[in-house]
């Protein structure tokens, strides 16, 4: 079971400093979780994750349910052993992937019928089944099964959906068997402030070990995302950890930390890396750009990641991408994850030193 | 410049123990060279190569000439700096790739006209140009430009080809400018013993820093390969290093070491890895095979590679391949290269202890 301690509440904002203790390790929050969709943070070994300073990773229940199947992972002794990773793991409920990848037509009170995005096989996921699968996978933190409606939907649809997700959360909690695992509830409600508030209050009433805010990545206008956080975060208990799902843009992380969020996950740093994009303090750069052909400098001077420290140049990384060499994506994955993980420890330090807003302003001023 | 010292000639066979000193490091022979086609041993960093015990790597002139182009690498300060690798490098002449990938129709005394396998661009490579490119790339060892005819060709064709390759070798030596780089000659002659002998004697007359045997990978019947070595190796000077090109099967390496070969290169261990094949002491296994779905053992008990030592299971590696996760190929690349590099140090030890033939017999008895 996990143990969250709120160490400090910033004076200049709602930013918080905390500690999360798990069976597989303790880490400070705010923290970012790299995504290991298929029980692997793409291109990296467990050793590299450790060297990067990765504190906790996320794996996807939906993907692992399909491949290799929950029985294989259970037979291996659980997810940690299967993937040879001795750090904390969070599994999502499968809900997000079911709604985004499998695009179900059949959502009932009982659960969701959909087709596998791999072979079209007819599948059925219920709140109970999502918990049962996660119990067998054995992550440190597991998530309630929720509906993630597309954006936008009508108020009436979202109203029904929020009520259904609350009933699903209750059913999931009832069957949660593995006492070693923490179970989180998820706040939904789209861009409707009233529903976000209602969802938060009612989810807290059910009672979970932590609370997530879902369904916030809804397009280009980031103000909507920030508003969604504002609409519900004050109704989440201060002594519990708060998780903003699917957010990994540096500025969005800063905005959410300012509002009181503790943990994040997103495929962004790893996916951008495989598409030749690197984070820098001035913003993203695309290594496929011809301007880097003869640029023999590292991605960012002063960066403490393996890629930059050992001297890999932009020209060389560009060459690897031009030639489809997977080392290119790997070198950028290391850099991008380290960039975000260093950002998180910088944020922690700034909160500890009562300088969060100054840090926030400086970062945003430079980052385009 | 390189310095080869013959340390020991085995009593039980023609196997030899030697030391090759280069500007970027000294290593013992017999040794296997991992192939870094595009200035990258696929999936691996320079640090991993070092940790694997890799002593020297090969890069391909033809591929680097096309991408990123010799000017980029020269501007970077040469191949070592460009690829961020501080160990010895050998570049081939481009000949093999021109003949195998670009399939030229126009071979004249002057050189070879062919089309780029990437964009169809018309290109022209001559012995002088192959040396000039390699001088700019800056590897520790460079190779003469040779013709690699397909197998089989007529005696008359091979006779003409060997004579032309000798004239090309002479022209290449004449223009070789970079005194830091060793230049090797290449023995050709196909399966014609008389031509192999002639090619060896005449190449040695020109005088090179080392001698390669080319064009030996000609199909399933390995006896032809071994015969090709037998036909020429006694005509190569004992005090110079001998390089068998394109050979990486463990048994072929043992057979060639027995005949007096010192160094090898081959894409086999890295290519097999990316196709889910792993070397073991009992032979190759294919991780895509369903039998490994619930096999939670490492690839080979007792193997000292990172993949096996850190506990990655066959079931997990299989899962990575089923899901097209590139970490699978990377974990097997590490294992396969370590397997061959350990084989080389085992061979060195066996020769040093006057037990080469015993080692050879034991290995072959177990390996299918």
Residues of B in contact with A317 (CB under 8 A): none
Going by pLDDT thresholds of 50, 70 and 90, the confidence category of residue A190 is: very high
Mean pLDDT of B242-264: 98
**Chain B positions with Cβ closer than 8 Å to A:** 38-40, 42-47, 67-68, 72, 75-77, 81-84, 293-294, 296, 306, 310-313, 315-316, 318-320, 322-323, 325-327, 329-331
- The nearest alpha carbon in chain A to B46 belongs to A310
CB count in 10 Å sphere of residue A31 = 25
Residues of chain A with Cβ-Cβ distance to B117 below 8 Å are none
Copy the structure tokens of residue A368.
């385009």
Q: How many CA atoms lie within 13 A of A234 on its CB side?
A: 6
pLDDT over 80 at B105, yes or no: no
Residue B177 is predicted with a pLDDT of 86
pLDDT class of B32 with cuts at 50, 70, 90? very high
Average pLDDT of the segment spanning A91-110: 89
- For position B320, what pLDDT does the model report? 98
pLDDT tens readout for residues A341-363: 999 999 999 999 999 999 999 99
pLDDT tens column, B299-348: 999 999 999 999 999 999 999 999 999 999 999 999 999 999 999 999 99
Compare CB distances from A325 to B42, B294, B311 and report the shortest one's residue: B42
**What percent of chain A shows pLDDT beyond 70?**
100
Q: Is the pLDDT of residue B354 over 90?
A: yes
Question: In the sheet that A182-187 helps form, which strands lie side by side, from edge to edge?
Answer: A31-34, A263-266, A241-244, A210-213, A182-187, A141-143, A89-91, A57-59
Least confident of A116-125, A278-287, A304-313, B227-236: A116-125
* A67, A294, A320 member nearest B322 (Cβ): A67
Which residue in this structure is represented by tokens 């779905």? B293
pLDDT mean across residues, chain A = 97
Segments of B86-222 assigned E as strands: 89-91, 106-107, 112-115, 122-125, 141-143, 182-187, 210-213
Residues of B within 8 A of A64 (CB-CB) are: none
Active site residues of B: 92, 265
Q: Is residue B284 classed as helix, strand or coil in its secondary structure? A: strand
CB A64 within 8 A of CB A27: no
Mutate to test the interface with B, among A75, A325, A332, A335 (most CBs of B within 10 A): A325
Under the phi-then-psi rule, with left for phi > 0, alpha for psi from -120 to 50, and beta for the rest, what region is B313? beta
With beta carbons less than 8 A apart as the criterion, state whether B293 and B318 touch.
Answer: yes
pLDDT at A219: 83
Note the residue count of chain B. 368
Three-state SS at A263: strand
CA–CA dist A222, A243 (Å, integer): 18
Give the DSSP H/E element, type plus range, for residue B4: strand B3-9
At residue A105, does pLDDT exceed 80? no
Distance of residue B24 Cα from the nearest chain A Cα, in angstroms: 17
Count Cβ neighbours within 10 Å for each residue of A64-73 and write b for 16 or more, e otherwise. bbbebebebb
Nearest of A55, A84, A217 to residue A148 by alpha carbon: A217
Residue A78: the pLDDT is: 98
Which residues of chain B make contact with A311, given a CB cutoff of 8 A? 84
| Cα–Cα nearest to A43, from A339, A272, A244, A343 | A272
Residues 6 or more apart whose CB falls under 8 angstroms from that of A218 comprise A151, A152, A190, A191, A224, A225
A128-149 pLDDT, tens digit per residue, is 999 999 999 999 999 999 999 9
**B176: three-class secondary structure by DSSP:** coil
What are the CB-based long-range contacts (under 8 Å, 24+) for B5-11? B6/B238, B6/B239, B8/B351, B8/B352, B9/B238, B10/B351, B10/B354, B10/B356, B11/B354
| Candidate from B72, B316, B330 with C-beta closest to A83 | B316
Tokens representing B316 are: 């997990």
What backbone torsions phi and psi does residue B35 show, to the nearest 5 degrees?
-100, 125
Residues of B in contact with A305 (CB under 8 A): none
Catalytic residues of A: 92, 265
Let me know if domain A3-266 sits in CATH 3.40.640.10.
no
User: Span A161-176, mean pLDDT?
Assistant: 98
**Chain A CB contacts of B81 below 8 Å:** 296
Percent of chain A with pLDDT over 90: 95
pLDDT at A220 over 90: no
Residue A99 has pLDDT above 90, yes or no: no
Cβ <8 Å between B311 and A38: no
Q: What is the mean pLDDT of chain B?
A: 97
> Are the Cβ atoms of A319 and B42 closer than 8 angstroms?
no
Do A72 and B329 lie within an 8 Å CB cutoff?
A: no
CA-to-CA distance for A43 and A41, rounded, in angstroms?
Answer: 6
Cα distance from B31 to chain A (closest Cα, Å)? 25
Nearest to A65 by CA among A7, A126, A150, A152: A126
* Model confidence band, residue B95 (pLDDT cutoffs 50, 70, 90): confident
Which residues, in sequence order, are CB contacts of A344 under 8 Å at separation 6+?
A30, A31, A32, A253
Residue-wise pLDDT for A48-57, tens only, equals: 999 999 999 9
Shortest distance between the Cα of A73 and any Cα of chain B, in A, equals 9
B100 pLDDT band, cuts 50/70/90, is: confident
CA distance A247 to A336: 14
Which residue among B43, B81, B83 places its CB closest to the CB of A326? B43
Break chain A into its structural domains and give their ranges: 3-266, 267-368
Here the tokens at position A302 are: 């002063």
- Please list the alpha-helical segments (H only) found in A24-154: 46-52, 61-66, 70-76, 79-82, 95-100, 127-137
**pLDDT above 80: residue A2:** yes
Interface contact A38-B325, CB threshold 8 A: yes
pLDDT tier at A33 (50, 70, 90 boundaries)?
very high
Nearest to B327 among A40, A310, A319 (CB): A40
């Amino acid at each position: 079971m996990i143990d969250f301690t709120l160490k400090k509440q910033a004076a200049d904002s709602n930013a918080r400093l905390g500690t999360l203790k798990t069976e597989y390790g303790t880490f400070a929050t705010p923290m970012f979780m790299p995504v290991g969709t298929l029980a692997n943070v793409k291109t990296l070994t467990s050793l590299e994750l450790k060297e990067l300073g990765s504190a906790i990773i996320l794996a996807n229940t939906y993907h692992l349910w399909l491949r290799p199947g929950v029985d294989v992972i259970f037979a291996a002794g659980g997810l940690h052993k299967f993937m040879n990773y001795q750090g904390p793991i969070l599994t999502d409920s499968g809900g997000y992937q079911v709604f985004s990848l499998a695009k179900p037509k059949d959502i009932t009170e009982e659960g969701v019928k959909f087709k596998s995005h791999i072979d079209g096989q007819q599948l059925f996921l219920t709140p109970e089944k999502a918990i049962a699968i996660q119990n067998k996978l054995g992550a440190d933190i597991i998530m309630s099964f929720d509906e993630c409606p597309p954006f936008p939907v009508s108020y009436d649809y979202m109203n029904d959906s929020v009520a259904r997700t609350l009933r699903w959360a209750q059913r999931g909690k009832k069957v949660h068997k593995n006492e070693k695992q923490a179970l989180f509830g998820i706040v939904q409600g789209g861009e409707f402030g009233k529903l976000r508030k209602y969802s938060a209050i009612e989810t807290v009433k059910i009672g979970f070990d932590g609370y997530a805010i879902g369904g916030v990545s809804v397009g280009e206008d980031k103000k909507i995302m920030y508003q969604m956080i504002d609409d519900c975060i004050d109704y989440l208990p201060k002594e519990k950890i708060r998780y903003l799902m699917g957010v990994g843009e540096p500025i969005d992380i800063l905005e959410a930390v300012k509002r009181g969020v503790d943990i994040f996950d997103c495929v962004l740093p790893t996916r951008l890396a495989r598409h030749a994009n690197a984070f820098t303090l001035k913003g993203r750069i695309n290594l496929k750009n011809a301007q880097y052909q003869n640029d023999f400098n590292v991605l960012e001077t002063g960066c403490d990641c393996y890629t930059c420290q050992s001297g890999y140049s932009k020209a060389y990384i560009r060459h690897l991408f031009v030639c489809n060499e997977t080392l290119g994506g790997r070198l950028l994955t290391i850099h991008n994850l380290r960039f975000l993980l260093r950002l998180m420890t910088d944020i922690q330090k700034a909160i500890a030193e009562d300088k969060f807003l100054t840090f926030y302003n400086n970062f945003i001023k430079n980052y385009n």
